[in-house]
């Protein structure tokens, strides 16, 4: 399996996030990357792509603009310098959203664009758990570079690739950040795969609903979005991810949410995986993107499923049976000591099941 690394990931280091009523150290930390890298290196199924295979920044910007709005990208690119120029000392703090416009039915409006930085940050974010730092933009663009290269490799005939990156992406929507995410790598990958394949499926197996990815493709029938996740009635992102969200207009029938109760173990989770796999096959997917979060692990500090390290091997083998060229993107997983082994188990078993199938 080809692995594409975001070597800019270390530029994004959040200090604190608002979590359950207080500021706590960020869960989405650089060591997550290193634990995964170490696990992959200790096994022999990975080929690490060379940096020369990555697209340049101009090209990357163009691909990212197929997913995210120009206004959002302009905000994100300049947010750090805007923040620093606001007040002396800001360079030693993160910008953390704290105020948001409610939907227009409440009478709030952004028709006259706010000049205030906090007000603008609120327009482009949906939670207070996602600090914007000096290197967030660069790290997110580095992730997009790796994603584009990984998707191109699969478009050009590779059986599978893995994007080893952070910050993650699947909560980022067309014009907003949140859930530790800034650029939706899975959506970027699917968009590139669509240039080559008529029908692309996205099967999101992170603990949290992939709200950003769902929203990117909600009115399209050519990219089928599926997510297995904790029921949003109890779990983040709360306001999206219910089973009755089936898609809109042309996209009706091309979004599938499979919410599960908190406490689900592999027995319950794997039934949803079967439903998802059947849907991918019936759709006739020619390529697949798997936003791979391992915050479904029993030891995850912020989640609530009970998957075990060995279960991730079973998942990888099952995904391989879909017989689709596949791009995996690294998403959540916060039990840092276990994240590497859990990710490597999915990818290695996928890889071996693929080889043995010929
Ligand atoms: N104050 C991923 O797994 N937690 N993101 C709530 C709100 C957000 C997780 C914080 C969890 C986001 C990619
Ligand atoms: Zn997650």
* Mean pLDDT value across residues 80-109: 96
Whether the ω angle into residue 237 lies within 30 degrees of 0, i.e. cis, is: yes
Ligand 2 ion local residues (Cβ < 5 A): 206-208, 293, 295, 332
CA distance readout (Å), 41 to 162, 175, 184, 282: 13, 36, 26, 36
Is 95's pLDDT higher than 80?
yes
**pLDDT confidence bin for 310, thresholds 50/70/90:** very high
Is 144's pLDDT higher than 70?
yes
Q: Which atom of ligand 1 is nearest to the CA of 295?
A: 3
List ligand 1's pocket residues with C-beta within 6 A.
18-19, 127-129, 168, 171, 179-181, 206, 208, 236, 293, 295, 331-332
Is 251's pLDDT higher than 70?
yes
Distance between Cα 26 and ligand 1 center (Å): 10
* Mean pLDDT value across residues 139-155: 98
pLDDT digits (tens, 9 = 90+) for 118-134: 999 999 999 999 999 99
Mean pLDDT of the chain: 97
Q: Determine which residue's CA is closest to atom 3 belonging to ligand 1.
A: 332
Assigned token pair, 144: 């997009």
Is 97's pLDDT higher than 70?
yes
Antiparallel, parallel or unpaired: β 287-292 and 200-204: parallel
Q: Which atom of ligand 1 is nearest to the CA of 17?
A: 1
Q: Which atom of ligand 1 is nearest to the CA of 180?
A: 5
pLDDT, residue 231, reads 99
Please state, in angstroms and rounded to a whole number, the distance separating the CA atoms of residues 12 and 134.
7
Closest CA to 191 of 241, 156, 148: 148
- The answer to whether 184 and 210 are in contact (CB under 8 A) is no
- The answer to whether 82 and 67 are in contact (CB under 8 A) is no
Distance between Cα 113 and ligand 2 center (Å): 32
pLDDT, residue 356, reads 73
Is 301's pLDDT higher than 70?
yes
Neighbours of 231 (CB within 10 A): 19
Ligand nearest to the CA of 129: 1
Is 358's pLDDT higher than 70?
no
Is 355's pLDDT higher than 90?
no
* Mean pLDDT value across residues 294-318: 98
Distance between Cα 30 and ligand 2 center (Å): 16
Is 80's pLDDT higher than 90?
yes
> Would you please indicate which residues are annotated as catalytic (active-site) residues?
171
pLDDT, residue 307, reads 99
pLDDT digits (tens, 9 = 90+) for 155-189: 999 999 999 999 999 999 999 999 999 999 999 99
- The answer to whether 166 and 124 are in contact (CB under 8 A) is no
pTM (global) more than 0.95:
yes
Is 347's pLDDT higher than 70?
yes
* Mean pLDDT value across residues 288-316: 98
* Mean pLDDT value across residues 217-245: 98
Ligand nearest to the CA of 178: 1
Indicate the top mutation candidate among 236, 291, 304, 333 to test ligand 1's pocket, ranked by most ligand atoms within 8 A of CB. Answer: 236
Q: Determine which residue's CA is closest to atom 12 belonging to ligand 1.
A: 179
Closest CA to 141 of 185, 189, 83: 185
Ligand nearest to the CA of 330: 1
């Amino acid at each position: 399996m080809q692995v594409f690394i975001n070597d800019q990931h270390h530029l994004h280091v959040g200090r604190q996030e608002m979590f359950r009523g207080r500021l706590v150290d960020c869960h989405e930390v650089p060591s997550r990357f290193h634990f995964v890298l170490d696990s992959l290196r200790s096994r022999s199924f990975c080929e690490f792509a060379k940096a020369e295979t990555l697209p340049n920044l101009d090209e990357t910007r163009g691909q990212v603009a197929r997913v995210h709005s120009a206004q959002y990208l302009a905000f994100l690119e300049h947010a750090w310098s805007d923040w620093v120029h606001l007040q002396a000392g800001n360079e030693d703090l993160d910008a953390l959203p704290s105020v948001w416009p409610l939907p227009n039915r409440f009478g709030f409006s952004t028709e006259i664009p706010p000049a205030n930085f906090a007000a603008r940050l609120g327009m482009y974010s949906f939670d207070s758990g996602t600090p914007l730092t000096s290197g967030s933009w660069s790290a997110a663009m580095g992730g997009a570079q790796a994603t584009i290269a990984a998707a191109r490799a699969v478009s050009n005939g590779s059986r599978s690739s893995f994007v080893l990156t952070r910050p993650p992406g699947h909560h980022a929507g067309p014009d907003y950040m949140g859930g530790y995410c800034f650029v939706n790598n899975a959506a970027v990958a699917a968009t590139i795969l669509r240039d080559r394949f008529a029908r692309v499926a996205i099967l999101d197996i992170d603990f949290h609903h992939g709200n950003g990815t769902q929203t990117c493709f909600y009115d399209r029938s050519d990219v089928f979005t599926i997510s297995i996740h904790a029921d949003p009635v109890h779990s983040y992102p709360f306001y999206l991810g219910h089973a009755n969200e089936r898609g809109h207009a042309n996209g009706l029938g091309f979004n599938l949410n499979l919410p599960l109760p908190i406490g689900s173990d592999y027995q319950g989770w794997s039934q949803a995986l079967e439903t998802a796999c059947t849907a991918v096959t019936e759709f006739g997917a020619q390529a697949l993107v798997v936003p791979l979060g391992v915050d479904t692990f029993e030891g995850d500090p912020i989640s609530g499923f009970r998957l075990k390290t060995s279960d991730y091997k079973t998942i990888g083998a099952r995904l391989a049976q879909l017989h689709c060229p596949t791009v995996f993107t690294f998403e959540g997983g916060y039990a840092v000591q276990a994240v590497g082994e859990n990710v490597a188990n999915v990818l290695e078993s996928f890889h071996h099941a693929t080889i043995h199938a010929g």
